[in-house]
Every structure is written in C-alpha cells, then in structure tokens.
Structure 1
Amino acid sequence: MSQSRNAALEQASKWFLRLKDAAPDHADRGRFEAWLMESEANRQAYQRIAETWGDFDSAARITHISQAMSARKLDDDIRKRQRANTLTKLGTVVAIGLASLFGFQQWQNWQAQPLETIAQTSAPGHMVSRYLPDGSKLSLDAHSDTKVVYYRDKRYVRLLHGQAVFEVVKDTDRPFIVESDHARITVKGTRFVVNMINHKTVVAVDHGKVMVETLHAGETTSVLLSNGEVAEVKDQVKPVKLNKSAKDCFAFLQGKLIFDGASLSEVTETLSRYRQPPIVNHSKSGTEISAVVDVRTLNTFIKSLPAVAPVKLQESQVETAVVDR
C-alpha cells in the first residue's frame, strides 16, 4: 500500500469518527470538505471507511428484524445491539487506521535503508573526480572529504571538509541533497559547487535551480539560486546572495584560485588545500586580498603576502604561519 493511500485512510477514519453524528453546521465540516476535495485518493479513502460502516448497518438491520419477531423486549434489545454494533464498527475503523499507520511506518523504515554508501576523499594537492551510481558526477577539490549515501527516495551527500562540484542527473522522484556544517542544498538536476571555508558555506550555481537552507536556525530560512548566482551561509543566519561571479567559484577545476576581497584566513585555508605543511593565519589584520593564483606557482604567491598585507611569514616543520609584523 502506498504512502499516500495509507495517509489518506488514516485521515479519513479520523474525519468519519469526528463527524458521523455531528450537526450539518459543525465547525469542522468546512475543513473536512476542503480535505475531501484535495484529491481523488482522499475521496476514495473516505468512501471505503463509510462503506465499511454501512456494511455493518445492513447486517445489523437483518439481525434485528429476525430477533425482534421472537423477543418481548424489543426496545432493550435494539439499544443493546446498537451499542454493540457501534463498538464493532468503531473497532473496525480503528483497526483500519492502525493497519494503515503500521503500513506507513514499515514503508518509512524501508525507505530509510541505504542502497549504497560511498566515502570519497582527496589528499592535499590532488583533486578527485568520480561518477556516482545514478550517473551524477562528483569533483572534489584538493584536501576535501565527502560521504555519499543513496536511498530509494533521495540522494544524500555530506560535505565533511573542503569543496566539491556536483553535476546532478535529474530525477524528480529523488532529490539530490548536500549538507555542510552550515547549510542544506537541495536540487533535482543541476551543476553547482559547495565550498565550506572560514566558518561558512558558499554555494554557486552554474545552471539550474538550487534551494539553499540554513541549518540549525530557529525557523526555516532559505533562498533559491539559479544560473550564475552565489550565496553565503553562516550558522544561525539566513543565506545571503552575493554580488559575485559564479564562474570564479568553479575556476579551481582549471587550477586557478580566484580571491575577490577575501580575508587572510580564507586565503590561507584555501591555499592549504594544495600544500604541506599548511599555511595558517595568526594575523589580526583586516586586509582583504584580491588575486588570481595559479596553483603551480603557489609558493611564489605565498612569499608575496608580506608585500600586500602588514604580515610576515614564519616557517616551521608543522606549518607556515602568517603573523602580524
């Protein structure tokens, strides 16, 4: 039995029991009629409940006629049997509702079973691309980490660290969902990039439509992105569209890192995806960096940072530290 049919039967039994003896002008009757008109499934479900009730009524009338002919206390007999008949019908309606609920729970458990799980990571300095079970393509930036789980009703990716581009094959029955520490991104079929960087998540869309929601917010906060649009998401804050080129966000696939007014922390975190030891910002400078960096000349750019910001570099075996001068 389908999910929608189970839900309709459950709701139909509730409406029937609520309104079976109610006055024609009962306050809930308008809401009931609106529910009834929502779909053919609702009407069929209510008809099934009503027919079940009606079948018991017919059988009861035949029994009453037969027994009344030989019973002296017809009124008492009718009252007793009406009570028993009502309890029987109530039990049947409740049983249908419980069976529907049990079936729905079983269906939910079946839907929640993973069909396939993939853990995909990339090492510092090395990007990775692969096709997923449905033909969608995952392209991981260097030093990134994802977990992919495919279910019967959805395709789910958890971005644990770094950045990834998704080229999603359209499937209207199974939305493609990506979650980071700050955001949930839902699509049907599109190409987009998700970058978890400097305590925020940046989402850019090449083509298609993407729904971006803030995780952990007190209320649902979302924004719809389409071709060429970019949004930034932070914890507990509504997603904000940025006046930024989406193409710049995909440039890393061609070995280019484009910074447009980026903080030193964002720059150093991005650069650390491509080198060991990592470069770490300890400076309190508010300098914003705008530059196009070729990953093949990364060290040259790092050495030039003291020329564009009031900082100096301190080298050690575990990190290259950016500190205030």
Structure 2
Amino acid sequence: MSTTDTPTPGAVPADAEREALGWFVRARGGLSVQEQGEFVAWQAQDPTHAQAYARWQADWQQLDALPEEGVAQLRAHLAQDLARERATAPRPVRGWLAGSWAGSATMVASVAVVAAGGLLAWQHWQQQPVFEKHIATRTGEQVDVQLPDGSHLRLDTATAIDVALFRQRREVRLPEGQAVFRVQGDAARPFDVLAGPLRITVVGTRFSVRNTPGIPGEEGVRVAVEEGRVRVARADGPAPGAVVELSAGQQIASDATGQLGPVAAVPASGIAPWRESRVSFDNTPLAQALAEFGRYGPTRLTVRDPAVAALRLTGTFDPRRLDNFVRVLPRVLPVRMQEPAEPGAAAVTEIVAAP
C-alpha cells in the first residue's frame, strides 16, 4: 500500500496554449523566413510551447472533421461563456487572425476563442465525449463489452454502467453492480471508474469493482487488482495523502461514505469469482448471503427470525443452482426449510431454526 498526491500530468499553461494557437493559425497561412525564425525561437523558449503546439496539430484534425452542425453546436454552447469573458477581460482580435480564415467554420470558432481572451471554445470541445454508451444487465445476465479504445469490460448480473470516452480521459460510472475491467494502456488518457463514493484511476491493468449499495453488509465499494496497479480515492476529491495505490493481488473496501479500510491480500481465485458462476461467502450473515443470491434471480426464500438471519455461512456456491444451496444449507447451519402452507407460484419458503 502506498499513498500519493499526484499532480495532473502534461499540464500546459493557458498562455502557452493561446500563443500556440496564434502560431498554428499563422503557419496554416504560410510563414515568411523571418516568421519561421521567430517560430523556432518561440518553441525553444520553453518546453511547454512545443507541447502546446503539438496538441493543436493533433487535435486540429479532429476539430477540422467536425460537421457544420457540430461547429454550430459548439458556438451555441459557448455564447454565454464568451460574452461573460469578453465583458470581464476584453481583448481585440490580432491582425493576423482576421481575414483569410473567415470562410472556415472551425477556424472562426477557434479565432473566437482567442478574441474572447480564453480557451473556452477549445475547452468545451475537448470536454465533449467522442463515445458514450449506457449498458445494463438484467437479473441473471452477464455480458462482455469491447470499448472503442480497446478496453474490455465484463458485467455481472444486475449491473449498470455509463461509459464516456473523451479525447484526454476515459470514464466509466458504476452506480450499481460489479464488473471486471481490462483497460487498454494509454498514458495520455487515464481511465477512471466512479463507483459510489470512490474514484479508481488506472492507465492499463485488469481489476474488479463492486458497488452494491442495496446489499446489507455490502453498502460500500470493493476494488481488487488482478494485473497492474490502480489508484483509489474518494470521488469528491481526496484529502492530502489519502490516495491508496493497489498492486496485483491486493484489494480494498470502503464503507458507504467512502472511508477506506485496510489493504488486504486476495488470491486470484477470489477476484470476481462470479465470472466462473461462483459466489463465495466467508463468515457471511445468512441474510446477506440470500441477498447476494437474489442478485442472480428470484430465490423464493426468506428468513424472518433475526437469530437465523445472523447465522454465519462459509462456502462457495453456483448462483444458477439454488437447489444445491437449499439442499446443503441444513447440513452446514442449524436450520430447516419450512415449506409454505399453500404452495403456488408466489409461494415463499422460510428458513427457520432447526428443532
């Protein structure tokens, strides 16, 4: 376990971004010999200058490919923000930005940014996802998902996720259920999983996340790493030194508020056993075990006696074979199955204390 405070990688000052945009626009129109010398000198002044210019070159291909309606949407989203910034920090349009680019819709959008004295339009465009998808599994269903970035997800039963891939980051929200993530490495685009109160950040690895706030005793979030490393912190911003780094074979769990517990070792067989149709219990209250079975389908089992509900169960079961669980349970716990007085489609069997 280690704790780290990691600065945002690849940060480029806003002034460098503005200057890089200026040079980029001028270069597209052709530079004189004198201007070429000035451009080379500008790049040599600071490493962030070359970084900013390279970003404009790479991102321009995507911006230039936007359809006209995309550019119109970008302008519409920015109208208020540009007006606000123009009122508080007005800047005239520099001469070399006027004229020859007026016919390009995308260039006009970029020029408007510089004229407004900020990078609002560019930032808005960067913040728009290039891929979005909501995926949910039904009770008893598991699905495999391949993302456009090469990452692979395996969703367990009763699980919902929202995927958003951006130009500079990747994000998956897991409001309910559990999933295994095999993340395609991309140092320029970190991969975040937001589950309950936690944020899990990786570059390239395989790990599982469980977030089942409706299961008694499992209201928090559990993270286990199969390969690579991940960082775990509160989603609303970690306190100084409150970022926990996990490596392969380690897991951590939080409570419902995001308070992290200790890092613990976990065997490979204990990471997302549901992939092999197994649910494992280790000194688990019977009521909690029944709730876990209920995630995979109707059990038609209930326990009303608090003393019986609190009995502890240890073992591994196939959630698809509830009949095996019902047969084994009286052998490992002092209970019996009390069949309903009136059998029927809605009949429920109660688990009661053995005489």
TM range (shorter): 0.5 to 0.7
Q: CA deviation digits over 1:271-302, x for unaligned, max 9?
A: 11221257666664443322111234223214
Q: What is the rounded CA distance, in whole Å, between the counterparts of 1:319 and 1:103 in structure 2?
A: 66
Residue 276 of structure 2 aligns with which residue?
A: 254
Give the deviation of 1:115 after TM superposition: 1.2
1:4 pairs with 2:12: yes
Residue 185 of structure 2 aligns with which residue?
A: 170
Gaps spanning 5+ residues in structure 1: where? 11-38, 45-90
Residue 223 of structure 2 aligns with which residue?
A: 203
Q: What is the rounded CA distance, in whole Å, between the counterparts of 1:255 and 1:169 in structure 2?
A: 25
Residue 88 of structure 1 aligns with which residue?
A: none
The DSSP-based 3-state class of the residue aligned with 1:274 is coil
1:112 pairs with 2:127: yes
TM-aligned CA distance change 1:141 to 1:305, over 3 Å: same
Q: CA deviation digits over 1:199-246, x for unaligned, max 9?
A: 011111110001111345783532111111111112141243124324
Q: What is the rounded CA distance, in whole Å, between the counterparts of 2:332 and 2:237 in structure 1?
A: 38
Give the deviation of 1:140 after TM superposition: 0.5
The DSSP-based 3-state class of the residue aligned with 2:321 is helix
Amino acid aligned to 1:254: E
Structure 2 length-normalised TM: 0.59
1:192 pairs with 2:207: yes
Residue 224 of structure 1 aligns with which residue?
A: 245
The DSSP-based 3-state class of the residue aligned with 2:322 is helix
1:233 pairs with 2:254: yes
Q: What is the rounded CA distance, in whole Å, between the counterparts of 1:232 and 1:117 in structure 2?
A: 28
The DSSP-based 3-state class of the residue aligned with 2:138 is coil
- More helix by percentage: 1
The DSSP-based 3-state class of the residue aligned with 1:253 is helix
Find the structure with the greater CA-based Rg.
Answer: 1
Residue 165 of structure 2 aligns with which residue?
A: 150
Which of residues 189, 195, 198 is equivalent to 1:183?
198
Q: What is the rounded CA distance, in whole Å, between the counterparts of 2:133 and 2:201 in structure 1?
A: 19
Residue 232 of structure 2 aligns with which residue?
A: 212
1:275 pairs with 2:297: yes
The answer to whether the Cα contact below 8 Å between 1:193 and 1:204 also exists between their aligned partners in 2 is yes
The DSSP-based 3-state class of the residue aligned with 1:275 is coil
1:288 pairs with 2:303: no
The DSSP-based 3-state class of the residue aligned with 1:159 is strand
TM-aligned CA distance change 1:301 to 1:277, over 3 Å: closer
Sequence identity, in percent? 28
Amino acid aligned to 1:212: V
The answer to which structure, 1 or 2, has the higher relative contact order (CA under 8 A, 6+ apart) is 2
Amino acid aligned to 2:319: V
Give the deviation of 1:265 after TM superposition: 4.4
Q: What is the rounded CA distance, in whole Å, between the counterparts of 1:205 and 1:218 in structure 2?
A: 20
Q: What is the rounded CA distance, in whole Å, between the counterparts of 1:155 and 1:321 in structure 2?
A: 46
